[in-house]
C-alpha cells in the first residue's frame, strides 16, 4: 500500500488521522509518515486497513465471493482456505488461498495477485 492509497483509504473510512491511528493501534506520527510517503506501510497495517474498508463497503454493495469472480473449479475450491471457511469476500485476508492456481509463499507475493482482483480492488 502506498501513501496515496493509505490516504484514500482514510478518506473512504471518513476518519481523521488521529481516529485512524487509534483504530489501527499506531501513533499519529506513523499515520503522518505513511501519508507523506516517508515510511512504507507495514503489511499488518495494510491488512487492517483493507479489513476496515471491507466492513464499510460490505454495507454499500454486494461483493461476490472470490471463487465466483475467479471461476474456480470445484477441485481447486476443496483445497482453498477461503472456500473452507466460506470467506470468499475476505480471501485477500487469508494466507494460503489458491489464487493463480497455487498458494503464495508470503504476503507480498499474495498481494501482487490480489491487487489485480476485483474482490480487493472494489474496496478502494
Q: Do 31 and 39 contact (CB within 8 A), yes or no?
A: no
Which H helix or E strand runs over 113? Answer: helix 107-114
* Domains of the chain and CATH, by start: 3-60 (1.10.260.40), 66-121 (no CATH)
Q: Do 91 and 97 contact (CB within 8 A), yes or no?
A: yes
Could you read off the pLDDT of 80-91 as tens digits, one per residue?
899 999 988 888
Answer whether 0.95 is exceeded by the pTM.
no
Q: What is the mean pLDDT of residues 101-106?
A: 74
Q: Cα-flanking dihedrals φ and ψ of residue 99, to 5°?
A: -100, 145
Q: Is residue 107 pLDDT above 60, yes or no? A: yes
Whole-number pLDDT of residue 5: 93
Could you read off the pLDDT of 25-68 as tens digits, one per residue?
999 999 999 999 999 999 899 999 988 988 885 555 677 888 98
Amino acid at each position: 500500500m502506498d501513501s496515496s492509497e493509505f490516504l484514500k483509504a482514510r478518506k473512504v473510512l471518513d476518519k481523521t488521522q488521529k481516529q485512524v491511528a487509534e483504530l489501527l493501534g499506531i501513533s499519529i506520527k506513523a499515520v503522518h509518515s505513511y501519508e507523506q510517503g516517508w515510511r512504507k506501510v507495514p503489511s499488518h497495517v495494510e491488512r487492517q486497513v483493507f479489513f476496515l474498508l471491507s466492513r464499510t463497503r460490505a454495507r454499500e454493495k454486494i461483493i461476490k465471493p472470490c471463487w465466483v469472480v475467479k471461476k474456480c473449479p470445484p477441485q481447486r475450491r476443496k483445497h482453498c482456505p477461503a472456500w473452507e471457511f466460506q470467506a470468499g469476500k475476505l480471501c485477500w485476508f487469508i494466507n494460503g488461498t489458491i489464487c493463480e492456481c497455487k498458494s503464495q509463499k508470503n504476503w507480498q507475493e499474495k498481494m501482487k495477485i490480489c491487487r489485480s482482483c476485483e474482490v480487493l480492488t472494489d474496496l478502494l
